[in-house]
Each structure stands twice: as C-alpha cells, then as structure tokens.
Amino acid sequence: AVNGSRLWQSLMDMAKIGATEKGGVCRLALTDLDRQGRDLFVRWCEEAGCTVTVDRIGNIFARRPGRDDSLPPVIMGSHLDSQPTGGKYDGVYGVLAGLEVVRSLNDMGYVTEAPVEVAVWTNEEGSRFAPAMVASGVFAGVFDLDYGLSRADLDGRTMGEELARIGYAGDAPVGGRPVGAYFEAHIEQGPILEAEGKTIGVVTDAQGQRWYEITFTGQEAHAGPTPMTRRRDALLGAARVVEAVNRIGLTYGPAACATVGLMQIHPNSRNVIPGRVFFTVDFRHPDDAILAAMDAELRAAVAETAAAIGLETDFRQIWYYAPVKFDAACVAAVRQGVERTGCSSRDIVSGAGHDACYLARVAPTGMVFIPCIDGISHNEIEETTPEWATAGCEVLLHAVLERANA
Amino acid sequence: AVNGSRLWQSLMDMAKIGATEKGGVCRLALTDLDRQGRDLFVRWCEEAGCTVTVDRIGNIFARRPGRDDSLPPVIMGSHLDSQPTGGKYDGVYGVLAGLEVVRSLNDMGYVTEAPVEVAVWTNEEGSRFAPAMVASGVFAGVFDLDYGLSRADLDGRTMGEELARIGYAGDAPVGGRPVGAYFEAHIEQGPILEAEGKTIGVVTDAQGQRWYEITFTGQEAHAGPTPMTRRRDALLGAARVVEAVNRIGLTYGPAACATVGLMQIHPNSRNVIPGRVFFTVDFRHPDDAILAAMDAELRAAVAETAAAIGLETDFRQIWYYAPVKFDAACVAAVRQGVERTGCSSRDIVSGAGHDACYLARVAPTGMVFIPCIDGISHNEIEETTPEWATAGCEVLLHAVLERANA
Ligand SMILES: NC(=O)NCCC(=O)O
Ligand SMILES: NC(=O)NCCC(=O)O
C-alpha cells in the first residue's frame, strides 16, 4: 500500500542535511541545518498538496483535508532534530513515514473522513536545549510557552531567539485544539525487537524519566604543591557520583537506566585541581515508585560525596515525567495494523522519551516501533532496513485509517 | 636596597592585562593578552637601558651589560603566561623581581662584573600547550626546537603559528650559550612557608613529574533504551581512573600529588552514553622510584578499568622529568642573601615545576620562594604581600650579586 522505496529515498535525502563522515547526522535543534531540514520537509509537503502551518514554538503541521474537515485531525509525526553524533532515522523516520502515508493516500486518491496532519516537533532531543520534548510539551500544556521559548543552550542562546533567527517562529497558537488521535512511528533505539526477530513493536508504555543538573564547587589549586589532604577536588566528587549513578542503574535493573552524559570541568587545565564541575544525570524506569527510589539514592550519594570532599552542591531536578500508558484504542489500532500487514510483532515499553509521551496527555496516542541494528541509536552508526521501514509505515497507514475513518 | 613599592606597582600594572572579575589573571600563552604583557615588559626593560633579544621560541632576554661583557650572564627570570583562572604572581613575580633588581642596580649606579639578564620563558604553564616549561626545555636542550614549535592547543593551533601571529618568533638561536648562573624567584604555591611563619624558602630540590594523556573509547548509545549491562560507557571508565589517581596520591603521600585536571567528554549530550573521553593525569613526587611506582599503579588501574567495561585505551605518558637537585653554590648564594637581609627562612622542595628545573641542566641554578596566602595558586584569589615580595627580591639581588661578581 505504501511506496517503500520512495520513503527510503526521502530518508536518504534528508540525511544529507548535516551528514557526518561516519554516516550519521548532526542536525541540532534550531541550527541552520535544522532550518534546511525543515525547509525540505515543507517543500515536500506542499508538493503533496498539504497546507503548512507553523506555531509559535516552531512546530510544523502539514494538513491533508478530510471529507469532514471540521473533525479533529489524526496527527502523525516526530522530530527532525538530532543528537550531535546522531543517526539518520531517530525522529526523521516518524516524520517521513507520516509524509509517505500522505503521499500514498494521494496515490490512491483516498479521502479520509477526518483530516490527517504530519507534525514536526521542535527540539525533541533535548541535547542542545534541555529538557527533551519541549515543544510537544508546550503543545500538550505541560509547559508554558514562555518556559519553552526561554530554554537556553550552553552558550546562552534561547529557543525563542533561535526560532526567530531561522525563520520558524510561527504565528499559530501552540496546542489548545482538539486532536482526534496521534500516532508516532520510531526506531526502537534498543535491542529487543531485533534480538527476538520481530518486525513491529506495539508500544504500550513509556518509561518515566528524571533529569538532573548538578554543580560541585570545591577549590581550584595547584596540582603540584597542594597536598592531597588539603584538596577540595570537584572532579573527584563528580567521578564518585558517576560511579554511584551506574550502581543505582544496576541495582534497580534490568528495566532501570542511569546515565551521566554531559560534564563540564572548570577550569579544565592539566595542572589545576578542578574547582567546579557541572554534570547531568538521566534516570529512567517504567515504575514511578522505583524512579522515586533511584532519586532518593542519588540525593544520598551526592550529599555523602560532597560532605566527604568538602564540596558545595547545587542540585536540581530539571525534568520529570511519570511513566506513560498509551491509549487502549490507539494501541488496538496499531495491533490491527500489524494483523492486516501480517508482520511479526511484540508489545514493548519505550525506553526513550518521545513527543508521543506528551501528546498522550491531550490526545488518544499510540506508537509503532521498528527494529534498529544492534539496538544502537544516538550514534552515527544507527541503522535500520528498508523492509522494516516499509513495514512500520504500512502499520502506521492502517492505524491512521482506522482512526481517521472512525 | 630594592624599591619594594616600585616592584609592587609593576606587579599591579602587569595584572591589569588579562585581569579577571575575581581579581585574577587569564593570560594564556601566546594569546593577544600574552603579547600585551610581553610588550609592556619589553618597554620597561628598554626604559631601564637593557638590550632586548627574542629567540626562536619566543623567550625574551633583557640584558644589562657587565664590566666584562664577555663573561657568561647571570640570568634571572620566570614567565608571564598564566592559567585560565590564574593569579597575579605565579611567574610574573620572578620576572618583575628580576626587573626590579636591574632597576635597583641602575639606581645605585652599580656595575656587576658579569652581565645580568632578565628572562621571560614562553609557555611555562603548560595549560594552553602541553607540556609545561616547553621553551626553557628547548633552551636547555631537553626538547628539539621543532618539538617546541609544534606543540598544539586543543584547537590545533601550534606554538610556532601563534608566536608568528603575535610577533614574538624571534631570530636568536635558542640556548647553546654559556650561562653563569640562573636564579628564579617565585611564590611557593603551597602552604608551608606561611604555616611556619617563614618569609623565604631556600629551594633545594624540585619534585619529579609525569604527565599522561588517556583516551577511553566505548560506544555511544541512547541513555534510555540501552540496558546497563550492554553499555560501554567511557565516562564510567574515566571516573574510575579519577578515583584511582586520588587513591594513588594518598597511598604514596604526604609528598605525592596526583591530579586529573582536564577531561573532555564526547559527544557530551545528556541522553547519550559517552562514547569517548579524553583526560589527563599529573603525578609528582620528590623520589623518582616512587614516581615509577605510581606510574605502574596507574597503568594497572587503567588496564583493569578498560577490561571491566570493555573500553579501548590510548595511553600516553607525554612528559616526564626526574626530581631536580639545585646547584649547591647557588643554593648557598640564596642562603647568604637570606642572612644578609635577616629574613626568616627554611629549606623547601618545590612542588611545582619551574623553568629553573630545566635551566638546572645547563647552568648552576637556584630558586627563592616567598609565601602565598593559604598556599593557594592556580586560582584567581592567589595572593601574597608587598613585604614578602620585597624580601624575596632583596634575597634575589644578593644572590645575583654574589654570582655576577664571583
Ligand atoms: N527518542 C529520543 O531519542 N528521544 C530523546 C529524548 C530521550 O532521551 O528520551
Ligand atoms: N609554577 C607553575 O605553576 N608551573 C606550572 C607547571 C607545573 O604544573 O608544575
């Protein structure tokens, strides 16, 4: 029903924007490359006959009218921004699978009851601007618009400034309109589907997350004449918390994840005892009570470390969302799509956060996962296959038709 | 004999170049600010009647003729470059104390037998370009000139390029000429003199050093869906080595120092398991055999960590120098200066590396330490007092006269 080679070609064309030497993509949110990716998407949508709207936080909506255009739309989507060393599929797949559904409907001359939209959500990755899923969060009313626009990167540039700079600070209000259903197709970003030989993951839940920013301040001093016992080494403190975070992840395993991904050392000079270290912690678990237990252990480890070394601590939980349960009817629509296409599948819990996690607060929401090679994502070698990509898009088409004609 | 307020005023004037908000100095080697500091020093020396020469690695020599100008000069000196968050005295004090000796000799109309020179050595700190003391090392024949000129900062700019850019790639050959004696005055950069209420440290020895560069490579992956047991987290590896380095320092203490001062995380994104971490290790000890034992423990800790996590390792010792014993006659000249001025003093081992450590290979060499408040250096709050600064300069004058008239 869908044109798999057209979908694959579009993925490869989009991957040229920000392509890295190792075959990945670096297209950070609201950079010039992100603008180029958005422009290409908008052109494709206009060529497919869609009407394109941009809202005040830069979310793009490409609309294909329904027979009754007053019905709330069924939205498909994901994001075009990437990690600094990201892959070709994370996010992009969900956007272009949505576009391929529209193109296929056009090919068939098929008119859905409700309108169908393809959405691109701004800054899903949370890498340049923390936290992740900011703009779908504003759409869903989880964050204020001002909060979203004022998110700043490590150089102090805000999302609002950067949206204006790249020409994607739109006029449309953010959210506040009825959505019939939301479906997001995505690569799994983990190893389960491939290991079990399944083509489709029917996503029933998503893990909860807590993100932290921690700054330890000790005292800069000379690495030579400063006795070990007189030091207040902020990096030693951070190192102990990295070890503690790993231990916490293992303790609450196999479903727990615990990561320190970012660290900045000050003044970062070989012969200076580090005086200040800023770092982040990312905790995930499908069970909110366990996520709270991980939080308590982290706080204890940070306090103990700071006391032992004599460090001052600035500790902030900057993001939290509870585990998500996707809408039963949307999950059923995905499962029905699997049956129609005859793919192998299994139910799965998303380890990553997705715009769908916030959309689920304001719309019946479902997700379709396809495998990725070796479970690797957030890496330039991220890979999937044209067959999986096509299968996921077909399942998406069926799920969307199910809801748009309901 | 010396003019302490003139010396202090010169220190304060030089400290304006690269002054930081917290009262410190950021004047990294071979930056525009380093050029401004050099220009000011050269102007002062010319005003004091000296002839200024710059050698091919940017070392500056300001020469005051002796009665017999064919005698090898007695050189005083240190450096004008600073740490990123450095203080007003580290290095600068030794340079300007040398200049004050020249100015005082001028005031007295005193002609020494041998000529007297004030030297500024390029890139002593080793912060922008590793290792430390590169240019005095070339002067002393420890490093090739090409090695010195090809040292690169973390952005890949070399010392040779940056010397040319700031106009301090001179014509004079580097070293290879007889030096009658070398004296370096410096703040202690540690807590001993102040704690014991002594004004002058008669420096008899300097610790040996080993510097390392280590890169751990694991695999970037998504912080969410990647199970803890499938991770190859390069930052977890680096954190374990930070803890091991601290343990090694404590094990071989109280004279041992062991520091990780610099770390770069790749890709440094909150929700990506770090795939690569580059960091440095700085080891010091006055006993070469113990320094070797520390080296062996580091290698074992790195190997064990890499094996446990599944990391690839690039391990390099990039700098080594054995503990230094300063020249008996020069140490005696400093001690005699202490007696003449009536200062309190004690013998001391330098915890920091100094250009004097390399000069000691090609010239009889001695050092004069003065206290610094709370032993703090490599920090913007680094402080000493005008009284200590004056006392150290007077001791320097006496030591220089002792050798320049010998
Ligand atoms: N899907 C995805 O990579 N999302 C980024 C936010 C997260 O780290 O969960
Ligand atoms: N004196 C001083 O700070 N030297 C820098 C080189 C070292 O770290 O020992």
Structure tokens, A310: 């004599």
What are the backbone dihedrals phi and psi of residue A172, each rounded to the nearest 5 degrees, phi first? -65, 140
Give the confidence band of B76 by pLDDT, cuts at 50, 70, 90: very high
**Nearest C-alpha neighbor of B383 from the set B19, B89, B81:** B89
d(CA A77, CA A119): 4
Among the partner residues B189, B250, B280, nearest to A225 by beta-carbon distance: B189
d(CA B25, CA A183): 56
Q: State the closest ligand 2 atom to the C-alpha of B209, by its place in the atom list counted from 1.
A: 9
Q: Establish whether the linkage from the previous residue to A267 is cis, with ω within 30° of 0.
A: yes
d(CA A73, CA B327): 86
**Residues B184-198: tens digit of each pLDDT:** 999 999 999 999 999
d(CA A115, CA A63): 7
Structure tokens, A320: 């939290």
Residues in chain A: 406
Residue A354, annotated ligand binder?
A: no
Ligand 1 center–CA A188 separation, angstroms: 11
Q: Please, are residues A102 and A116 in contact by the beta-carbon 8 Å criterion?
A: yes
Q: Is B126 in the pocket of ligand 2 (CB under 6 A)?
A: yes
**Nearest C-alpha neighbor of B100 from the set B14, B198, B202:** B14
pLDDT of A253 = 80
Q: Which amino acid, one-letter code, is at B367? A: M
Structure tokens, B277: 């971490």
Among the partner residues A224, A261, A352, nearest to B353 by beta-carbon distance: A224
Q: Please, are residues B107 and B399 in contact by the beta-carbon 8 Å criterion?
A: no
Ligand 1 center–CA B313 separation, angstroms: 29
Q: Which amino acid, one-letter code, is at B96? A: L
**Residues B363-383: tens digit of each pLDDT:** 999 999 999 999 999 999 999
How many beta carbons lie within 10 A of that of residue B144, not counting itself? 12
Q: What percent of chain B has pLDDT over 90?
A: 99
Contact B228 A378 (CB under 8 A): no
Q: Which residues of B touch A264 (CB under 8 A)?
A: 268
The continuous run of DSSP H or E covering A346 comes out as strand A345-350
Q: Give the residue-averaged pLDDT of A117-127.
A: 98
Is residue B245's pLDDT more than 90? yes
Q: Give the residue-averaged pLDDT of A113-140.
A: 98
Site of tokens 């070989």? A270
**Residues B223-233: tens digit of each pLDDT:** 999 999 999 99
pTM of the predicted model, to two decimals?
0.96
Site of tokens 């987290």? B233
Q: Please, are residues B113 and B73 in contact by the beta-carbon 8 Å criterion?
A: no
Residues 6+ apart with CB under 8 A from A56: A145, A149, A169, A170, A171, A172, A173, A174
B317 touches chain A (CB under 8 A): no
Q: Which amino acid, one-letter code, is at B390? A: T
**Residues A264-294: tens digit of each pLDDT:** 999 999 999 999 999 999 999 999 999 999 9
- Chain B residue with minimal CA distance to A255? B227
Query: Which B-chain residues 123-182 have CB contacts (< 8 A) with chain A?
Result: 125-127, 130, 132
Is residue A406's pLDDT more than 90? no
CA distance to A142, A272, B76, B123, B211, per residue, from B266 (Å): 31, 22, 44, 28, 22
Average per-residue pLDDT for chain A: 98
Q: Give the residue-averaged pLDDT of A349-371.
A: 98
Buried b (16+ CB within 10 A) or exposed e, A369-401: bbbbebbbbbbbbbbbeeebbbbbbbbbbbbbb
A336 touches chain B (CB under 8 A): no
- Chain B residue with minimal CA distance to A26? B267
Q: Give the residue-averaged pLDDT of A5-21.
A: 98
How close, in Å, is residue B348 to chain A by CA atoms? 11
pLDDT of A53 = 98
Q: Which residues line ligand 1 (CB under 6 A)?
A: A 90, 124-126, 132, 352-354; B 222-224, 271
Q: Is A271 in the pocket of ligand 2 (CB under 6 A)?
A: yes
B259 touches chain A (CB under 8 A): yes
Q: Establish whether the linkage from the previous residue to A131 is cis, with ω within 30° of 0.
A: yes
Query: Which A-chain residues 55-94 have CB contacts (< 8 A) with chain B?
Result: 83-85
Give the confidence band of B98 by pLDDT, cuts at 50, 70, 90: very high
d(CA B97, CA B392): 8
Q: Which residues of B touch A219 (CB under 8 A)?
A: 376, 379
- Chain A residue with minimal CA distance to B250? A228
Is residue A390's pLDDT more than 90? yes
N-to-C CA span, chain A: 20
pLDDT of B47 = 98
With the most atoms of ligand 2 within 8 angstroms of its CB, the residue from B25, B125, B189, B349 to mutate is: B125
Ligand 2 center–CA B87 separation, angstroms: 12
Ligand nearest, relative to CA of residue B206? 2
Residue A186, annotated ligand binder?
A: yes
N-to-C CA span, chain B: 20
What are the backbone dihedrals phi and psi of residue B73, each rounded to the nearest 5 degrees, phi first? -75, 155
Among the partner residues A126, A262, A351, nearest to B225 by beta-carbon distance: A351
Q: Please, are residues A277 and A260 in contact by the beta-carbon 8 Å criterion?
A: no
B301 touches chain A (CB under 8 A): no
B19 touches chain A (CB under 8 A): no
Q: Which residues of B touch A271 (CB under 8 A)?
A: 83, 125-127, 132, 259, 261, 282, 378
Q: State the closest ligand 1 atom to the C-alpha of A91, by its place in the atom list counted from 1.
A: 1
Among the partner residues B190, B220, B226, nearest to A257 by beta-carbon distance: B226
How close, in Å, is residue B185 to chain A by CA atoms? 16
Is residue A323's pLDDT more than 90? yes
Q: Give the residue-averaged pLDDT of B244-260.
A: 96
- Chain A residue with minimal CA distance to B208? A224
- Residues belonging to the binding site of B for Zn(2+) are 79, 90, 125, 186, 378
Among the partner residues B225, B233, B259, nearest to A273 by beta-carbon distance: B259
Give the confidence band of A217 by pLDDT, cuts at 50, 70, 90: very high
Q: Please, are residues A263 and B265 in contact by the beta-carbon 8 Å criterion?
A: yes
Q: Please, are residues A56 and A174 in contact by the beta-carbon 8 Å criterion?
A: yes
Q: Is B125 in the pocket of ligand 2 (CB under 6 A)?
A: yes
Is residue B253's pLDDT more than 90? no
Is residue A193's pLDDT more than 90? yes
pLDDT of B406 = 86
**Residues A36-92: tens digit of each pLDDT:** 999 999 999 999 999 999 999 999 999 999 999 999 999 999 999 999 999 999 999
With the most atoms of ligand 1 within 8 angstroms of its CB, the residue from A80, A121, A124, A187 to mutate is: A124
Q: What percent of chain A has pLDDT over 90?
A: 99
**Nearest C-alpha neighbor of A95 from the set A202, A190, A184, A188:** A184
How close, in Å, is residue A275 to chain B by CA atoms? 9
